[in-house]
Structure 1
C-alpha cells in the first residue's frame, strides 16, 4: 500500500529542503552533467535520454513523488533559492516504520559538508513524529557502490552506520556490477550534527 505524503519544507540554516518544481529543470540538468551524479544517481532511463532533456526526465518522476510515498527534496540555498542538490526519503513504510534514502550534491556546492548536513536534516525530519510534522520512522537505510567513496563519507558523517557489504548489488547501465555498502540509521541512534 502506497501512502501519500504531504509536500513539506524543512529550514536548516543556510539551506532548506523543499519539494522540487518544474523551475528546477535547468539546475537538475546542470547537475546531471556531472559524471558522478549521472553514473550513481540518475538511473538508466535518464542516462539514455539526450543530455539537453535529462533535467526534465529526472524531474518527471520526482515532482509528483510525494503522492507515491517518496519525500523528494531539493536542497536549496536559503538566501538565493539556488538548487544545490537532492535528498530523497523513498519507499516510506513499504516495510513498517522504515524508508530508504538517496542524495546528490551539485559540483559547485561541494566542499561544505552539505550532503551530510542535508541527509542528517532529512533523517531528523523522517524520525520526527507525524503529530510534529515528520514521518515517525524508526529506520532509514541507504546503499552505495564501494567505489563511490564520496557517498560513503556522506553517509558516515550523517550518522549512517555501515552494516555490511552486498556483493554485486549495484548494476550500472552498461551492466557493470559493483559490491555495495549498506548503511543505516535508527531513530534511537545518538548522532551529532555534521
Structure 2
C-alpha cells in the first residue's frame, strides 16, 4: 500500500562543518559546472538532462527540483558551514518521495569533483538521515526506513552509503540504466530508525 506524499517545509540542517540548505536559483552556475563532470552526468543527471544541450542542463535539472519540497521531497545544496547560507554549492542531497511508501524515503546525493575526498557526502547523508529518522516531536520526519541505490560501477557511492550507516541489502540486477542506455546491476542499501 502506498500513501500520497505531502508538502514539506523547507529547512536548513547543519552537520560537521557543513550546511544543508534548500536549493535556489543562485545555484544554477554551480550545478552547470557539476553537470560537466561525466560521473555526475552519468550517475545522477538523468536521461533528460544528459540529452539536453550543455547550456540548458542546469536549468532543466534545477527546475525539476525547485518545487520538490511542495511535492514531498526534501532537496538540499551541500555547502561549507563556514560560508553560511550563501555558500557555493559543493554537492546535492535529497530525501525523495517521503511517505510515498509509508514511513519511507529514498536518498540520493552527489559531490562536485573539486569537493570530493573530504567526507562531505557521507557527512551530509548522515546528517540528513538523522533528521529524517528522528521523531516529528524532535523536528524530524518521523520515518522508519531510508533506502538508496547505486550502480555497482560507482563504488564511491557504496563507500558513502556504508560510512553513513546504510547497510547493504542486496543486488538489483539490471536496475539502473545510464544515459547511454547501458544497464547496470545496483546495490540496495537501507538504514532504519531502529536497528534490528
Flag whether TM exceeds 0.5 (same fold). Answer: yes
Does residue 8 of structure 2 align to residue 8 of structure 1?
no
Which digits, 9 at most, give the CA deviation of each residue in 1:96-128, with x for residues without a partner?
A: 111100000011111111100100001001011
Partners of 1:160 and 1:108 in 2: how far apart? 25
Residue of structure 1 aligned with 2:70, choices 47, 67, 70:
67
Does residue 104 of structure 2 align to residue 98 of structure 1?
yes
Tell me the number of residue pairs that the alignment of Structure 1 and Structure 2 aligns.
190
Which one has a larger percent helix, Structure 1 or Structure 2?
Answer: 2
Shift of 1:54: 1.2
Shift of 1:91: 0.7
TM-score, scaled to structure 1: 0.95
Provide the residue aligned with 1:148 in structure 2: 154
Tell me which stretches of 4 or more aligned residues in structure 1 moved more than 2 Å: none
Does residue 58 of structure 2 align to residue 55 of structure 1?
yes
Alignment RMSD (CA, Å) = 1.1
Partners of 2:122 and 2:14 in 1: how far apart? 15
Does residue 120 of structure 2 align to residue 86 of structure 1?
no
TM-score, scaled to structure 2: 0.94
Provide the residue aligned with 2:131 in structure 1: 125
1:83 match: secondary structure: coil
Provide the residue aligned with 1:115 in structure 2: 121
